[in-house]
Amino acid sequence: MKRRLLTLGLTLLLAAVGTVAVLLYVRNADARALAGKRAVPVVVADKRVPAGTSAGAALRNGSLRLKKMPAETVPENALGEVGADLVKLVATADIQAGQLVLRPMFAATKPTSSGLAIPEGKVAVSVELGAPQRVAGYVKAGSQIAVFDTYSVLDEKSRTPSGAGLEKQHESTQVTRLLLPKVEVLALGKPPVPNAKSADGAGQGQGGVLVTVAATQAEAERLIQRSQFGTLHLVLLTDSSQISQGDGTDSKSVFDPVK
């Protein structure tokens, strides 16, 4: 019995020593990385900060902490502290654990009766889209997206029918073009299912998901107009995504060499 207790105690001691050794190694590794370099404090996320969380609340619950990094590796807009001017601002998108916190990640919001955090100067607008139009469902609250629209254009051509003069003939061309280069997704949710049923007896409004984005008035007008008369597709953006306005691609030029 005594031998068993002695073995157990020795095992626990070795485990404790190993844990301390790992912590010391990590701390020394950070020190070695900073050796000979000017270190500056930066704010990093210790835990995930959900979109809509204020910087003050994230600091109080331990989601944010200070860390020193070599100055040459720190972006210009990285936060060095959570000052008084930042505590009431809220995260515009989810901040993942371990992520370096940048100043644009927090913005002012105005309270709304719905409780939805809307960035200052923006409005919230929703469109209903299926899974393929939402990048197979990978579009989430906090995603940065671009919006493309596909629509029809009528081309007029002249032709000469037999025994008659010139006539106008219309042909339809499909065009896909960038509508909005960058908007932020605020929320996703299922549309309400009405009590009424369609002619085939199936409930209405069950095919898609409501995607709510933050937009300016002009962006909201474009999105609403094209959701009624076009076919919308969302694309996910990253920091390195390259998106620009252009003439788009139509059904005649779709197989032209990519520039």
**10-51 per-position pLDDT tens digit:** 666 555 655 655 555 555 555 545 455 688 999 999 988 887
- Return the number of other C-beta atoms located less than 10 Å from residue 109's C-beta: 19
SS3 104: helix
Looking at this protein, which amino acid is placed at residue 133? Answer: Q
Instruction: Dig out the tokens for 214 from the structure.
Output: 């933050």
pLDDT of residue 43: 92
Q: Which one of 107, 130, 153 terminates a domain?
A: 107
pLDDT tens per residue across span 119-174: 778 899 999 999 899 998 888 888 899 999 999 988 766 555 555 555 566 678 89
Would you list the DSSP string of 32-61?
A: HHHTTS-EEEEEEESS-B-TT-BHHHHHHT
pLDDT of residue 166: 56
pLDDT tens per residue across span 48-94: 888 778 888 888 889 999 988 888 888 888 888 888 888 888 887 78
Instruction: Dig out the tokens for 10 from the structure.
Output: 């020795």
74 belongs to a structural domain: yes
CATH number, domain of 57, equals 3.90.1210.10
Q: Tell me which residue range forms the domain holding 175.
A: 118-194+205-250
Same domain? 232 vs 157: yes
Q: Which one of 107, 136, 166 terminates a domain?
A: 107
pLDDT of residue 64: 92
Q: Are strands 90-91 and 64-70 parallel, antiparallel or unpaired?
A: unpaired
pLDDT tens per residue across span 197-254: 433 333 334 468 999 999 999 999 999 999 999 999 999 998 888 888 888 898 888 8
